[in-house]
């Protein structure tokens, strides 16, 4: 029997939970059809998480692409179908187009080794400057920090996940919650996740409470790493500083929990627990357009 997993019409980090609620009760070897026929829009998080979802399955799932031409066209330009072909059985042939739309700063890119991070950072720098400074009104100097943030986010996959993942960067107008343009980095993997990564830390003392939420608090808020090297853990700290400086939002989901650094313009909760279980780690960084002071 094949279970149909319905993809919401608008797929982002919040609505992806609806996908996971459908998947969580299934055994890993269950046959699954991910039905995106009615999807009309997806954030970079939504698209990279869909690819990650397929990686978590023991039986290669099927995928029904969106019916709307413009959605297929946009997802194609993000590079989604090019990679979906490698992890899903596509139910319908999709014409794969090259990326190039101006809002796609970085098409979906697999990350599995240090060279991938060099490539990603090299590719994004010029476009990031045009978008961040030209369209979002952010200081030109912030472009470098953005690339550093991207680099550190990708390195979490290489250093901790134990398997490859995906990164994508897009800018778009976030009408629903903010009414401004944003640039969004999404980095998703189906690796070991924060809790298991920290469990491998030598000499780690286990308190009464130890779960995905606590692991996220240790890593994201307190900069704890599984390595004894005191220099470790600086990447997430650097991401937090950058996000704070530019009134951005950072959210990291791992296992059954999600932690967020929540700016004033958002009403998300700092820590969500008892979410549907999902392997690995999924990170989203959102930098909003600057609004000139009145």
Q: Which residues bind another protein (CB under 8 A)?
A: 114-115, 117-118, 121-122, 125, 141, 144-145, 147-148, 151-152, 155, 158-159, 230-231, 234-235, 237-238, 241
> By C-beta, is 30 or 148 nearer to another protein?
148
**What pairs with residue 32 in β-bridges?**
3
Q: How far is the CB of 162 from another protein (least distance, A)?
A: 16
Q: How far is the CB of 30 from another protein (least distance, A)?
A: 37
215, 258 contact by CB (below 8 A): no
From the CA atom positions of the chain, what is the Rg in Å?
Answer: 18
Q: How far is the CB of 139 from another protein (least distance, A)?
A: 11
- State whether residue 145 is helix, strand or coil: helix
> By C-beta, is 46 or 165 nearer to another protein?
165
Taking the C-alpha atoms of residue 32 and residue 51, their distance in angstroms, rounded to an integer, is 14
> By C-beta, is 70 or 119 nearer to another protein?
119
> By C-beta, is 227 or 265 nearer to another protein?
227
Q: How many C-beta neighbours within 10 Å does residue 246 have?
A: 22
> By C-beta, is 117 or 190 nearer to another protein?
117
Q: How far is the CB of 140 from another protein (least distance, A)?
A: 11
**What pairs with residue 90 in β-bridges?**
63
65, 36 contact by CB (below 8 A): yes
270, 31 contact by CB (below 8 A): no
Which strand (E) or helix (H) includes residue 125?
A: helix 114-129
> By C-beta, is 68 or 148 nearer to another protein?
148
Q: How far is the CB of 293 from another protein (least distance, A)?
A: 23
Q: How far is the CB of 230 from another protein (least distance, A)?
A: 7
Distances (CA, A) of 184 to 17, 169, 214, 234, 283: 18, 6, 26, 21, 10
């Amino acid at each position: 029997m094949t279970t149909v997993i319905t993809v919401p019409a608008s797929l982002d980090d919040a609505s992806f939970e609806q996908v996971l609620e459908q998947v969580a009760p299934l055994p890993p070897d269950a046959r699954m059809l991910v039905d995106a026929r009615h999807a009309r829009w997806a954030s970079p998080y939504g698209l990279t998480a869909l690819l990650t979802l397929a990686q978590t399955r023991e039986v290669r799932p099927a995928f029904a692409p969106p019916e709307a031409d413009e959605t297929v066209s946009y997802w194609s330009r993000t590079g989604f179908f090019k990679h979906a072909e490698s992890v899903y059985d596509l139910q319908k042939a999709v014409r794969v187009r090259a990326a190039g739309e101006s809002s796609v700063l970085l098409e979906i890119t697999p990350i599995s080794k240090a060279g991938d991070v060099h490539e990603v950072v090299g590719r994004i720098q010029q476009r990031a400057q045009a978008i961040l400074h030209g369209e979002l009104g952010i200081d030109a100097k912030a472009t470098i920090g953005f690339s550093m943030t991207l680099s550190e986010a990708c390195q979490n996959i290489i250093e901790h996940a134990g398997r490859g993942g995906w990164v994508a960067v897009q800018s778009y107008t976030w009408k629903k919650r903010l009414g401004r343009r944003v640039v969004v980095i999404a980095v998703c993997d189906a690796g070991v996740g924060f809790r298991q990564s920290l469990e491998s830390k030598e000499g780690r003392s286990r308190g009464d409470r130890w779960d995905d939420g606590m692991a996220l608090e240790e890593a994201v808020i307190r900069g704890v790493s599984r390595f004894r090297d005191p220099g470790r853990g600086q990447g997430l700290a650097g991401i937090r500083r950058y996000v704070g400086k530019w009134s951005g939002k950072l959210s990291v989901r791992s296992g059954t929990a999600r932690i967020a650094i929540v700016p004033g313009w958002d009403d998300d909760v700092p820590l969500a627990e008892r979410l549907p279980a999902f392997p690995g780690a999924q990170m989203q960084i959102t930098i909003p357009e600057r609004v000139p002071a009145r």
